[in-house]
Amino acid sequence: MGIASYVTGLQHIGIPTNNLDSTLAFYQSLGFEKQYGTNNKGEEVAFLLQKQVMIETYQNYQGAMAPGSIDHIALDVSDIEAVYAEVGKLGYPTLEDGIQGLPFWKHGVRFFTIEGPNKEKIEFSQML
């Protein structure tokens, strides 16, 4: 079937930050609204939405503070296991050991990440 048959859209763009408060204030000034916040292993995480564009920002003190500092783009998928199998058929190695899970949102999220040809990270993510 191919990966494209499972992709339902852009889920989010991941941006690491050194200062979550200033990052939230900046994107809120552009019309983004905070949709969800949590702490993931000591990192404060926030998801902000502006129409169909979701930003995930997380305070890990590893923001590059230079052009190219977006960490990853996440594609929303309908069947994470099927996409994982398709990625395997294409021979793309994953950056994690298998499909991962986090208790984000109401029922959690399952995801895995690959590396693109320019060292960009592409996350495939299914909200549960």
Q: What is the CATH number of the domain that holds 44?
A: 3.10.180.10
Domain range for 94: 3-127
In terms of Cβ atoms closer than 10 Å to its own Cβ (0-12, 13-18, 19+), residue 95 is middle
pLDDT of 28-85, one tens digit each? 988 999 999 999 999 999 999 999 999 999 999 888 888 888 999 999 999 999 999 9
At 109 the pLDDT is 96
Number of folded domains that form the chain: 1
At 1 the pLDDT is 77
With a pLDDT cut of 70, the percent of the chain lying above it is 100
Tell me the whole-structure pTM to 2 decimals.
Answer: 0.84
